[in-house]
Amino acid sequence: MKRIQRNIDVVCTFLEGEPPLPHRFRIRDRNEELHVYRISQVLDTVKEKILGDDIWTYKCQGVIGNQERIFVIQYNMRHGRWQLVKI
């Protein structure tokens, strides 16, 4: 897996007492074009404490670049920010 650490916009579902459930995300490429990717399946969800912030880490599966891939996204609860971490 390649480490990326890029901010993304995510469509997700928030339910009380549960972690947010991501459905799809969009990211800008180097040419500033937007690409939208659907999350087929969330394989694993882990809550971590990093530098005092609660972070939800999701190991996901979806089609990126016409190929089924596994990738990792994170949600920082304190800042309300999503990031694509690894692909």
What's the pLDDT tens digit per position in 36-55? 999 999 999 999 999 999 99
Name the pTM for this structure: 0.92
Distances (CA, A) of 66 to 36, 60, 62, 85: 12, 16, 10, 20
Query: What's the confidence (pLDDT) of residue 19?
Result: 94
Query: What's the confidence (pLDDT) of residue 34?
Result: 95
- pLDDT for 56-68, tens place per residue? 999 999 999 899 9
Residue 2 — pLDDT band, cuts 50, 70, 90?
Answer: confident
For residues 67-71, give the mean pLDDT.
95
